[in-house]
Copies of this chain bind each other. A is one copy, B any other.
């Protein structure tokens, strides 16, 4: 079975770990969001790709969900001592190595997709991890700060400001000119099922879908497309998805997110049992829907979610 997953960071990575347990023999291609990539200290940092790679490769800091296990922060302390920031982005000493290798390879002329493959040669995540594009896309968030309307990098909005001010708009700058990375459209065309994990529908899955060609390829693939709600009981399971949903005029409910994707793209949708009453509304939008436990409390619970998603995909296929 060939599965394609559109993944953001922590939520996507944890779901993938469950999916690998649920479908150990599946051939899984992960199309990773790169809209949250950021250049820091002259280095190219790809937080979502790295979170997937470290999580599946056994190098993740389990408690915080991002960054490396057994990490130290001496380099960052020294940069601060030189007065060089930003200090709000937590790059550890071990993590820096990934960004140095990536930056060197890019400087040597390799596209990000080839670099990602080279990094994965070490981590062996057990999936094909492909960035959504080799082109530069950078998600910016329009906010009002100190009475002034300005656009900040997504990481600045998310990490420094902790989404404490309303997002007035979310713009994946460069997406319109971006091309899907080699392998992306091929994987979608050959997929048996396509999954949207409980990742952020705006800044993670939404950014991937903003790369011209990807949304169309998914809609035209002719295979079940099934998603899992990142909203449980009207609140994001983790992160601050509600803040960026508001920016695109979508209410923070499991049903509204399904409608936001729409039946032209989405065939099946899992909501949490606490949102069981929204099943009717999702079905009315032309999307198969079922209520199951959606909290990724541990690996077994996450694997069960993945099984439910694959079962729903079967139902879509048979419908």
Binding site for B on A (CB under 8 A): 41-43, 71-72, 74-79, 81-84, 92-94, 96-98, 100-101, 103-104, 107, 119, 122
Contacts and interface: CB of A to CB of B under 8 A. Distances in A.
17 contacts: A41-B100, A42-B103, A42-B107, A72-B72, A72-B74, A72-B93, A74-B74, A75-B96, A75-B97, A77-B97, A78-B98, A79-B100, A82-B97, A84-B97, A84-B100, A84-B104, A93-B96
Nearest to A78: B97
A42 to B, nearest CB: 5
Contacts of A97: 74-79, 81-82, 84
A94 B43 CA distance: 17
A71 B74 CA distance: 8
Contacts of A96: 75, 78, 93, 96
Nearest to A41: B100
A92 B96 CA distance: 12
Contacts of A81: 97, 122
A54 B119 CA distance: 34
Contact of A94 (B74, B100, B119, B122): B74
Contacts of A101: 79, 82, 84
Given A81-B122, A94-B78, A42 B72 contact: no
